[in-house]
Amino acid sequence: MMPDVSETKPRLLLVEDEAPIREGLVELFISQGFDVDAVGDGLQAVERAADGGFDAVLLDIMLPGMDGLSVLTHLRTRSDFVPVLLLTAKGAEEDIVKGLENGADDYVTKPFGIHELVARVRGLLRRRIISASEPQRRVTIDDGAVFDVDQLTVSRGAEIIKLTARECSLLGFLCGRAHRPVPRDELLVNVWGYRDGSIQTRTVDVHVQQLRAKLKRVGGANWIATVRGRGYRFEGRVSASEAGG
Ligand code: CA
């Protein structure tokens, strides 16, 4: 496989308590051109992540001591926005939703296929690169609301909502294609950085739900419509924001 992310090796922090799985994953990601640091519990994960310099974290939820969701909360609370992919147990729907709501970027369900897992981690890395090269911009929606990509905010009057980087990309992508349906696979490729958008995942839907709930507070409850069988469509009126205003 071609290394496609950057010249230097991407650094992955792997958090998994089951030794055979951990060792297998270390081997897998090293063979895929990653530098891998592996730890077996949540506390070590928090400490290791604090050293920084990781391009992505592969985080098991079921861990002894501090579980994966608590690790995630720790990272986000100290403003560490390293991309996180959760490893979740089959049927653990609640964990998945909680994880995505608490700032995870994506998840895979055990047992997972190794190709899918590698594809998803690469997706996180690509997304990070796209995000870093995004131009700064502001747009006005429905005359009264201002979407500021640089600040990760949408505001209307005194009401200001803070978006996650992912929500910001999602809103930006939909806004840029206002009034036409955007399929989920197009969002997976462009917002999540997947090469193959056909991967089955609820990631897009959960993020859209969260984004909608936030936008409600600035009068944007109906900005993102679900188009049955086709994806999502942005319905707000988008115009360029006045310069410097
Ligand atoms: Ca585990």
Q: Same domain, yes or no, for 151 and 116?
A: no
Residue 190 lies in a domain: yes
- Residue 80 CA to ligand 1 centre (angstroms): 23
pTM of the model: 0.62
Q: Write down the pLDDT at residue 125.
A: 83
141-166 pLDDT per residue, tens: 998 899 988 888 999 999 999 998 88
Q: Write down the pLDDT at residue 51.
A: 83
- Residue 15 CA to ligand 1 centre (angstroms): 9
Q: Same domain, yes or no, for 142 and 111?
A: no
- Residue 78 CA to ligand 1 centre (angstroms): 24
Write out the E strands in the chain: 11-15, 35-39, 56-60, 84-88, 106-109, 138-141, 145-148, 153-156, 159-162, 224-227, 231-234, 238-240
Q: Same domain, yes or no, for 108 and 159?
A: no
Residue 4 lies in a domain: no
188-215 pLDDT per residue, tens: 888 888 877 777 778 899 999 999 999 9
Question: Of 103, 125, 147, which residue is a domain's last?
Answer: 125
Residues 6+ apart with CB under 8 A from 245: none
Q: How many domains does the chain have?
A: 2
Write the CATH number for 25: 3.40.50.2300
- Residue 206 CA to ligand 1 centre (angstroms): 24
Q: How confident is the model at residue 227 (pLDDT cuts 50, 70, 90)?
A: very high
Q: Same domain, yes or no, for 152 and 233?
A: yes
Q: How confident is the model at residue 137 (pLDDT cuts 50, 70, 90)?
A: confident
- Residue 134 CA to ligand 1 centre (angstroms): 36
Q: Same domain, yes or no, for 80 and 169?
A: no
Q: Write down the pLDDT at residue 244.
A: 44
Give me the amino acid identity at 3: P
- Residue 21 CA to ligand 1 centre (angstroms): 9
Q: Which domain holds residue 176?
A: 136-243
- Residue 107 CA to ligand 1 centre (angstroms): 14
